Amino acid sequence: MRYVSSGHSHGKYITVILEGIPSNVPIDLLKINEALELRRSGYGRGPRMKIETDQVEITGGVLYGKTTGAPLTIIIKNNDYVNHESYMDPFNYTKQDVITVPRPGHADLVGMIKYQFDDTRPVFERASARETVSRVVVGSIAEQILSYLNITAKSFVTQIGNVKLADYKLDWDYLSESCVLMPSREATKKACELIDYAKTKQDTLGGICQVEVMNVPLGLGSFVSHDTKLDAKIAQSLLSIQACKGVEFGDGFKLAEMFGSASHDEIYYDNGYQRKSNHAGGFEGGMTTGEPIIIRAVFKPIPTLMKPLMSVDIKTKESVPSHIERSDVCVVPSASVICKYTVLYEILNALVTQFTSDTLEQLIKAVEEYRDYVARF
Ligand code: EPS
């Protein structure tokens, strides 16, 4: 499987071409739109999220409600385009609003130097996290296919600023109600207060989110070569999400302070090979172990600050405050949604690479047979 997305944050559309999806998969557009809605929601997002409605349109690769096996063409309209059309229409434009002061922490400065622009717009229009709609769309299609294999996933936020979920009692029933996607009423309240505080300070906040994937067959990915390791592929995909600065599996960075005797997952046999723990987060040797996949990703506070950091005007080389753009205060709840769909895309990609999967039926049968084989081993 592979996909490519194209489009600008304030352009007319984000377009995605997704290749390698088996044929005969019924596509539920409502589910994709619901996933996109969850991505937009989350306490701490900016005014733009009230403008966008994100209804996908599929114009290729689906006939009679099911995939044909051909590449899917998926279009997501940017409602905000109408407010930017005078300079965002690719040909019929009046160049105005030239922004020559890059924001520290954003792709602005390096992008301008590398691609020889005198304006940050051609950089930030593409570097923008608006592009993450594409990751949610392809991941939601993956989720629909994975449901036939009983593979399920959830994601949630474990930290926003200094508010850590670990300090509170968990309440999983509360997760769907939490406006910051934290499974704790108390932690949610504290996180919202902190976001409000950051907003009054004209500042931003980062955090950590966790993805868990259940019932993934043992042996996806491989140990044989550097580029066949599935944990590495997932890490690459997650790190490519805007503002992501680190990824860990299972006990992750905590392993540094643990003894080997406490770090690994002892094996026993009881109706198949079992593990006493899951420190590895579902991966050994770049392959899935069959245990739940546990991944955390850390997101830096977003770099567009209402109280700007100092920068340089590339026209005059003078020291000036960086450009102020309407933006979000905290995107970690959205990031947790994006991370879940990013991981699901990679899991499906590994499955269709490993098993016969021209059709949905073939994939289901191949995975069923393989699971039987593993159970008998
Ligand atoms: C973004 C800046 C904001 C965010 C945007 C990502 O947009 P704007 O500059 O239009 O206010 O709201 O996120 C989205 C549009 C989205 O759909 O997630 C940025 O600079 O990355």
CATH number of the domain at 185, please.
Answer: 3.60.150.10
For residue 9, the CA-to-ligand 1 centroid distance in Å is 7
Nearest to 295 by CA among 246, 256, 262: 246
For residue 318, the CA-to-ligand 1 centroid distance in Å is 28
User: Which pLDDT score, from 0 to 100, does residue 325 have?
Assistant: 78
> What is the phi/psi pair of residue 313, to 5°?
-80, 120
Any residues with CB less than 8 A from the CB of 89 and at least 6 apart, and which? none
* Mean pLDDT score of the chain: 97
Write down the pTM of the prediction. 0.97
> Predicted confidence band at 36 (pLDDT cuts at 50, 70, 90)?
very high
> Predicted confidence band at 97 (pLDDT cuts at 50, 70, 90)?
confident
Q: Give strand pairing partners of 72.
A: 18
d(CA 230, CA 181) in angstroms, rounded, equals 27
d(CA 321, CA 308) in angstroms, rounded, equals 6
Q: Report whether 334 contacts 324 (CB < 8 A).
A: no
CB of 159 within 6 A of ligand 1: the answer is no
Give the β-pairing of 72-77 and 56-60: antiparallel
d(CA 5, CA 15) in angstroms, rounded, equals 6
pLDDT at residue 96 above 80?
no
DSSP 8-state symbol, 165:
G
Instruction: Give the amino acid at 71.
Output: P
Could you identify the atom of ligand 1 that is nearest to the CA of residue 49?
12
Any residues with CB less than 8 A from the CB of 11 and at least 6 apart, and which? 78, 81, 88, 90, 125
How many domains does the structure of the chain reveal? 1
pLDDT at residue 323 above 90?
no
Q: Which domain holds residue 296?
A: 2-376
For residue 18, the CA-to-ligand 1 centroid distance in Å is 23
> Predicted confidence band at 62 (pLDDT cuts at 50, 70, 90)?
very high
Alpha helix positions (H), 226-331: 230-239, 260-263
CB of 344 within 6 A of ligand 1: the answer is no
Q: How far is the CA of 183 from the CAs of 16, 196, 249, in angstroms?
A: 32, 20, 20
Q: Kindly tell me the burial class for residue 272, based on how many C-beta atoms sit within 10 Å of its own C-beta (0-12, 13-18, 19 or more).
A: exposed
DSSP 176-211: GG-TT--S-HHHHHHHHHHHHHHHHTT--B-EEEEE
Tokens matching residue 81: 């385009």
User: Which pLDDT score, from 0 to 100, does residue 324 have?
Assistant: 83
Residue with the smallest CA separation from ligand 1 atom 12 is: 48
Any residues with CB less than 8 A from the CB of 374 and at least 6 apart, and which? 217, 218, 219, 272, 290
Could you identify the atom of ligand 1 that is nearest to the CA of residue 52?
17
User: Which pLDDT score, from 0 to 100, does residue 157 have?
Assistant: 98
For residue 121, the CA-to-ligand 1 centroid distance in Å is 13
For residue 274, the CA-to-ligand 1 centroid distance in Å is 45
**Mean per-residue pLDDT for 247-251?**
98
Could you identify the atom of ligand 1 that is nearest to the CA of residue 304?
20
Any residues with CB less than 8 A from the CB of 224 and at least 6 apart, and which? none
Number of alpha carbons in the 13 Å side-chain half-sphere of residue 318: 4
The model's pLDDT over 201-238, given as tens digits with 9 standing for 90+, comes to 999 999 999 999 999 999 999 999 999 999 999 999 99
